[in-house]
Amino acid sequence: MELWKSVVLGVVEGLTEFLPVSSTGHLTVAEKLLSLPVDDASVTGYTAVIQVGAIVAAIIYFFKDIVRIVKGFVLGLFSKRHRGFDYRFGWYVIVGSLPIAIVGLVAQDAITGPLRNLWVVALALILWSAVMVYAERAGRQTRGERSTKFSDALIIGIAQSAALFPGVSRSGATISFGLLRDLDRVTATRLSFFLGIPALLGGGVFELKDALTGPSVGVPALAVGTIVSFIVGYASIAWLLRFVGKHSLVAFVWYRVLLGAALVVALGTGVLAAT
């Protein structure tokens, strides 16, 4: 892969990883426009690995919170008197991360094969938008982070598995179901970040072998894409948290539907091939 293409894909990943617009869907479209084989195992692996750059950005951005939660969790394992919110939240992240890990392992062949299809991306962008609109209207947003429950983490973690379909959006799925659990928008977004850290780190490590050994990528391109996604991802985290504090997810819905419709037209007229 030429390095300039890796820079482009790193920017796309960093911009879209945390926004509810589907980073995998956007990367699939971008890779197709850059004449890369989207169903090639090394390209699929590349897509997963450069997400690690954005996740490292999230770790740095939330570093103080993560240290506090890890400390509370470890202390709580050895002493009942330390089993406060941070201890419970540590379990929430673990439990909420399990569904996508299980589904990812079971459905690996489908994820790296048939699902890497622009028709899937187009339909998922449009159809999941309806879920996001419903969540915004139905969610009462009466609960903050301290009121998060075990059941919230499990349900939102299951919803996160839907993001294995390119076009759904991991953040779109987790934030939407957070809203449906009556969490406020900022709390749902922060929980989405925390659940994304183990999920995407695990996915990146799991796919690293394919990204390194396949003929379509190469180590320099992988490194450049990861670094660029880190830089752009850090900026997008700060922007998104400010945005959701004052605005609904509907602004992203319009973009998702327009992009999905444009893809349908491009695919239907033969301008783009599905794979």
Tell me how crowded residue 107 is: count the other CB atoms within 10 A of its CB.
15
Contact 185, 245 (CB under 8 A): yes
pTM of the model: 0.89
| Predicted local confidence at residue 216, as pLDDT | 66
Amino acid 195 reads L
pLDDT in tens, 226-267: 999 999 999 999 999 999 988 899 989 999 999 999 999 999
- pLDDT one-digit tens code per residue, 181-227: 999 999 999 999 999 899 888 877 777 777 777 666 778 888 999 99
Q: What is the pLDDT of residues 89-110, one digit of tens each?
A: 999 999 999 999 898 888 777 7
As to burial, measured by CB atoms within 10 angstroms (0-12 exposed, 13-18 middle, 19+ buried), residue 105 is exposed
Q: How far is CA 56 from CA 18, 43, 200, in A?
A: 12, 21, 10
Q: Where are the domains of the chain?
A: 3-268
pLDDT digits (tens, 9 = 90+) for 66-84: 999 999 999 999 999 999 9
In the structure encoding, which two tokens stand for residue 264, read together? 């349908």
